[in-house]
Amino acid sequence: MNILSDIFLRQTMTPKTYWTFVIILITTCRSFADDDNHEMEEFLKREHSLSKPYQGVGSSSSSHWELMGDAMVTTEQVRLTTDMQSKQGAVWSRIPCHLRDWELQVHFKIHGQGKKNLNGDGLAIWYTKERMQKGPVFGNQDLFTGLGVFVDTYPNEEKHLERIFPFVLAMVGNGSISYDHERDGRPTELGGCNAMVRNLNHDTFIFIRYVRRRLTIMIDIDGQHEWRDCLDIPGVRLPQGYYFGASAVTGDLSDNHDVVSLKLYQLTVLRSETEEKEEEDEITLPSVDNMDLLKSKAHYLSQTYTSLALLYSNNSYS
């Protein structure tokens, strides 16, 4: 944090809020530093990746990816929904992923004719036990088992003034936790960030990394080829052998929801003997350590990031 940023934050925050933000920022930086101290190599896993010219997409048993609902393949993208009402579509991998550490880079596009807050509903990226199941959670089933990362473009809850939409959030389900659509997933979210991704003329990306039971999500939406932090959560336990997928849904409001590519990388991470021992137990059910503490922290971070975004937006137009 440079001097100008420090002065700006001091002027726009109470002392208590300022120092809490600084502590969280330092903790986050240390977390990424810890990751950098571990040697890591990545390898593209083509059998788990989706990219042009989409030859691996189809209904035959030999294809690696399968379409569902209203999804269609074009020369430029897999279109999950068109900009029409009451559509839902998905694309799912046929091959379960047995990687211990991985990184998924998602190139996507959301665009349509609707004006702000007159569009919907959003797009989801999945790593779940179930696949090809239609439902109310961005076109996928509720009570899912695994990880869902949502790009929510429409605010359902009336009291949403502290949150700017579109909003990216993550949730881990164990098969018995319901996504609260009316409250935009807040009761079960791990955290998230605002992401102004609609109707942009440049590429937009989401980066999802799962390493040493730590979930990190970043976004690149400004056309600057720079990743911006969205959430970083330790103690996330995801079993191996689940499926990757993407889904989207429209209701009374609509958008085109496109996936340009899903690229999965295997990460080779060097672990100490202590780390190996800590992770030797097989994970059979998704869970998150210290969920109550994380939810309170996620709520505070969400409010802080949104307040900063509002301040930046107001200063941009002043």
Percentage of the chain exceeding pLDDT 70: 77
What is the β-pairing status of strands 204-211 and 102-111? antiparallel
Per the model's pLDDT, the better-predicted residue between 37 and 230 turns out to be: 230
Query: Is residue 221 within 8 Å of 227, Cβ to Cβ?
Result: no
Per the CB < 8 A criterion, the answer to whether 172 and 190 are in contact is: yes
Per-residue pLDDT tens digits for 53-67:
998 898 777 789 999
Phi, psi of 314 (to 5 degrees): -65, -40
pLDDT for residue 317:
44
Q: Taking residues 244-265, what's their average pLDDT?
A: 96
d(CA 257, CA 108): 8
CA 70 to chain centre: 22
pLDDT at residue 114 tops 80: yes
Give me the pLDDT at residue 10, please.
53
Q: What is the token pair recorded at 122? A: 């959003």
Q: Which residues pair with 205 in a beta bridge?
A: 107, 220
For the purposes of burial, counting CB atoms within 10 Å of the CB of 59, is it exposed (0-12), middle (13-18) or buried (19 or more)?
exposed
How many angstroms separate the CA atoms of 212 and 268, rounded? Answer: 11
CB 81 within 8 A of CB 67: no
> What's the pLDDT tens digit per position in 18-53?
555 555 454 444 444 444 445 668 899 999 999 999
Q: What is the pLDDT of residue 230?
A: 96
pLDDT 10s digits, 188-198: 999 999 999 99
Q: Across-strand partners of 217?
A: 208, 231
CA distance 209 to 104: 6
Helix (H) or strand (E) holding 164: none
